[in-house]
Homo-oligomer: A and B are copies of this chain.
Amino acid sequence: MARWQPGTRGRLQDAALELFASRGYEQTTAAEIARSVGLTERTFFRHFSDKREVLFGGQERLTEAFVRGIEAAPDDATPMEAVGDALDVATGLFPDDMRPHSRLRQTVIDQHPALQERERHKMSGVATTIGDALRARGVGEPAATLAAESASTVFGIAFSQWIQDGESRSLGDISRAVLAELRDLTGADRAPR
């Protein structure tokens, strides 16, 4: 599997993920993670504040990618067009060779309610920041929050699909398909009743 990140941090992440998946998250200590790749606990803590951060340290990059996408959208882009651009930037952080990693990470998270809670918290923070970036473009309420929550929902659905066994489309392609589906779903004229 390709590394999440290069260098020592990447080695520690790889090792942690393998141990979390094989032995269990609770049962794995920072010292064991470090030792399994010939490093010391001290080195581990130079790179991560705790073992949970191995799983969630990517949040900042993800948030930044969304914000970058929103900020780079053309001035005349609608809120949802800006969200589409942001999804393209954010999904670009996950090339196909990261899929096995992301799948393994999800397996670990799915086994622990506390980690699932942390994941929800993370995505809620991402949505809040996207909303801020949209408001900074002059998007009002509730449009900014609706568009930001939609971005987070589309990303979450696309990501879950991307790591399914047998799925071969890129995360970006899935994300664009889910966004199009959202447009069809919510944009349909209300039939006369």
Chain A residues in the interface with B (C-beta under 8 A): 74, 76-81, 84, 117, 120-121, 124, 142-143, 145-147, 149-150, 153-154, 156-157, 161, 178, 181-183, 185-188, 190-191, 193
Contacts and interface: CB of A to CB of B under 8 A. Distances in A.
A84 B186 CA distance: 11
B81 A191 contact: yes
* Chain A facing B: main interface SS: helix
A69 B134 CA distance: 32
12 contacts: A79-B185, A80-B186, A120-B124, A142-B181, A143-B181, A146-B153, A147-B185, A149-B153, A149-B156, A150-B153, A150-B182, A186-B187
Contacts of A76: 191
Given A147-B185, A149-B153, 14 more contacts: A74-B193, A78-B185, A78-B188, A78-B191, A80-B185, A81-B190, A117-B120, A146-B178, A149-B156, A149-B157, A183-B186, A183-B187, A186-B186, A186-B187
